[in-house]
Copies of this chain bind each other. A is one copy, B any other.
Amino acid sequence: MAEHFLSEALQGDFQHTIGPYADPVLKVDPGDTIVIETLDAFGGKIPDEQTKPSQIIKYPNPLNGPIFVNGAEKGDTLAVDVESILPRGPQPRGTTCLPPFFGGLTSTNKSPSLQSPLPEIVRKVHITEQDVIWSDRMRFPYEPFIGTIGTSPELDSINSLTPESHGGNMDLPDVRPQNRIYLPIRAPGALLFVGDCHATQGDGELCGVAIEFATKTTIKVDLVKNWTIEWPRIESDEFIMSVGSSRPMEDAAKIAYADLISWMEKDYGFDRYDAYFILSQIGRLRVANMVDPNYTIGARIDKGYLA
């Protein structure tokens, strides 16, 4: 059970697409721990509120990886335990902004209008291990999670802004410390990519940008052999969750709930229609993002109902 350190220096060039074509930066065994120096979604290039991301950022969401997991084969599942996410870098170390033509309350390049963009406002904030200090009068709790985490597709390479069945830019706050994330393995070695951590985020990531920050993130990776999943899944002490990413948003919800029913059937012995009925009464949905090329929703059931 080795511990690896994937520093910025070891990473070298960060990745902007999740696929099988880049050389691994690290090879690990199942059960190993990896401490990762992630960059923020802007690659650390927004030092102050006068710097406009649209003018200097060519590709957002730089990712660490790919991490090759020895023994991982197509059809297996990768289990990632998020152990901790700690802020790093000089203050104000948090960044958010209103990017032109990106976000939940603006037209975008995928749903264009002839209207003018919103003003490109940048906000820099202090982040401690307790708080995000929005202003003299307002603080948000420090509730960090990994915004982008995914395994490689078999043939395709998906940019780091897009969530899909491989995971990717889900922007789902449940990918947080103490939770376990399951990801489908489709390429040899799984090829894990990680980055884009958020110090906190609201449901839907409304303006398109959370409190982006650089971190020291510790994960443990493991393999579940001969367990094939179609979409990401999450397990915490309290619940199991399936995650769907699609457009329109209802399709993300359908994917998540349908996968959760399938999980309940196959691994917990439920009748399909009984699972459908039960989720209709006590299922819960989290809208992760309403801004990315696919929208992401997690559907969960409390473990108390699974016994």
List A residues at the B interface (Cβ < 8 Å).
16-17, 19, 21, 59, 96, 98, 104-107, 109-119, 121, 123, 132, 134, 138, 140, 155-159, 200-211, 230, 246-251, 253-255, 257-258, 261, 272-273, 276-285, 287, 290, 295, 297, 299, 305
Contact = CB atoms under 8 A, between A and B. Distances in A.
A285 B255 contact: no
Q: Say how many copies of this protein the assembly contains.
A: 4
A96 B274 CA distance: 12
Contacts of A247: 246-248, 250-251
Contacts of A109: 230, 255
B105 A283 contact: no
A110 B157 contact: no
Contacts of A273: 98, 114, 118-119, 121
Nearest to A249: B249
Given A98-B276, A201-B281, A206-B279, A114 B121 contact: no
Given A104-B257, A113-B254, A96 B295 contact: no
A40 to B, nearest CB: 15
Contact of A132 (B107, B134, B281): B281
